[in-house]
Amino acid sequence: MSRLWHWQDVITSAAGGPRGCLMRHIPSGEQAAVSTDELCAGPALGEPAEGLPLLECVPRQRSLLDEVLEGLEGNEKALPAKLHYDQRGSELFEQICSLDEYYITRTELGIMRQTAASVAEALGNDCMLIEPGSGASLKTDLLIKAMESPAAYVPVDISRDFLLESAAAIAARHDVEVLPVWADFTRRHPLPTPSGSIASRAIYFPGSTVGNFSRREAGKLLEQFVEVLAEPHPNAAGWQPDGSVVVGFDCKKDVGRMEAAYNDAEGVTAEFNYNVLDRLSRELNTDLDRERFEFRADWEEDVGAIVSRLWAKEKHSVDIAGTTVTFEAGEPIRMEESHKYTPTQFEKLAAAAGLGIEKLWTDDSRDFAMVQLRPLSC
């Protein structure tokens, strides 16, 4: 049964630590729908890359053109948030992570620096650690270092080169079997089998990446995590699906602070959004002129998210591969949602997906929270 959560239940409180930065954190799947029923086609154990066995499981991608036209031809124009992360976008995101206004990265890193041992203990020994959308997080490094005997580390990412690079770095630094999976984590994909036996699985999903999914999509993603924990394991007789999910989410707070984090004074976040227009102009041979748009991110109470948009300054039309897209003056393109939760809201979201909060770690200001969730059926 779900246990109601209160701030008094906080297990550990950590002062915000020194600054750190996620190198890149990609909500790599399609933002419009989290697929829970579709195993990717043709999983294959690829050639060892960087000395690591790579499980390749990349679903057929929709073309960039199809995705962009679908987003810009609808009633409310929108582009998938994942388009932010080309090379330049990833670099800009790194810059965002160290902005004064963007408290998220340094706060979560501070929590992790203070609590890695306690998180590791909560996961237990011989745990297979799976990280969807792994990127190259400093926090994962801290967690693996704190784990006494991790059975395996399974980073999952859609960006092959980036995945291999960061998987190799973890393998070089830690005595752990690293089994990377090249896949879109929002879709079901097979898991690699570690060479030794394992006691449990844990899914590590930090960085408030959950916030870049709508409430409905986030719920589906959590349901999918429950299925992953329950999957039978070949090397464990009498396997019990008693693993856990550790998620980092950004907490609802003063509107001014949340909006400032996305409307930074230096304009790095604006550039992060304009860069999507530059990228599409280049890759689709069109002319989405950044000068004709203005960036703004607003808190929307009914959505529970900061919504980032580019607003057309004037009426104009753009030809995209033979399709004319017209922007009215003042018409927005929805670029990204960054959802914020109170712990109680997150508890409800998790409970609807069949997960209960076991532990919670936060900073002194309660700006950010990390929770350990367990299947309610266990």
Residue numbers at the binding site for ligand AVI (CB under 6 A): 25, 96, 104, 207-209, 211-212, 262, 269, 272, 336, 338
Q: Cβ of residue 326: shortest distance to ligand AVI, in angstroms?
A: 27
Residue 350: C-alpha distances to residues 67, 186, 202, 218, 372 (Å) = 30, 17, 15, 9, 11
- For residue 332, the minimal CB distance to ligand AVI (Å) is 16
Helix (H, G, I), strand (E, B) or coil at 230: helix
Between helix 103-123 and helix 255-262 the angle, nearest 10°, is: 100
Question: Around Cβ 162, how many Cβ atoms within 10 Å?
Answer: 19
Residue 32 DSSP code: S
* Cα gap 351→47, rounded to integer Å: 40
Beta carbon of residue 4, minimum distance to ligand AVI (angstroms, whole number): 27
**Assigned token pair, 203:** 């899914």
- The CB-of-231 to ligand AVI minimum distance in angstroms stands at 27
How many Cα atoms are found within 13 Å in the side-chain-facing hemisphere of 248?
Answer: 28
Provide, rounded to whole angstroms, the least separation between the CB of residue 40 and ligand AVI.
23
Give the integer Cα–Cα distance in Å for 49 and 203.
Answer: 24
- C-beta separation of 352 from 3 below 8 A: no
Write the Ramachandran bin of 167: left for phi over 0, alpha for psi from -120 to 50, otherwise beta.
Answer: alpha
Closest contact distance (angstroms) between CB of 272 and ligand AVI is 6
Residue 25 or 187 having the CB closest to ligand AVI: 25
- Angle formed at CA 54 by CA 50 and CA 60, multiple of 5 degrees: 125
